[in-house]
Amino acid sequence: MQWQVEAGPATKRYIECILPSITGQLGLSRSRKYLMIKADRELEEQGTTIPLTGLDTFLVVLKPTRNLVNLGITLAHELTHVAQFAKGTLQLTPRGKRWKGKFYPTDYPYLDQPWEVQAFARQEILFRRAIEL
């Protein structure tokens, strides 16, 4: 997987250091999809993932923070969504999302969404493995 990171110099270096490990753990290393990661102080949530389907690209937007642990965990969470989309497990529909063939409307409770349950379950272990020495 190729990527581009748009962030301040220190944040960019940090993200680029842990990206190979996290994408490798998620089985994305050989993906032909493109990943764009952008730091945006205006973002209301900590992170979001947007599949740009026609471009075979994923846009991950992160809210920059000085707390590098939180930033790394958020990145791992969002990259889990990238893997879900890339592998077809998670799909967008006009009225919601489809997870492993089952439809979930847009108003389905956030913490009950199975793709979020999986991302929260994986985020810290992905991050910790990425920073192991």
Q: Running along the chain, 133 residues long, what does each successive block of 10 average in pLDDT? A: 96 96 96 96 95 94 95 98 97 95 96 98 98 82
**How confident is the model at residue 54, as a pLDDT?**
87
**How confident is the model at residue 88, as a pLDDT?**
95
**How confident is the model at residue 80, as a pLDDT?**
98
pTM of this prediction? 0.95
User: What are the residue ranges spanned by the domains of the chain?
Assistant: 2-131
Cβ neighbours of residue 97 closer than 8 Å, sequence gap 6 or more: 90, 91, 103, 104, 106, 113, 115
State the residue for tokens 């075979």.
56
Contact at 8 Å (CB) between 2 and 34?
yes
**How confident is the model at residue 53, as a pLDDT?**
84
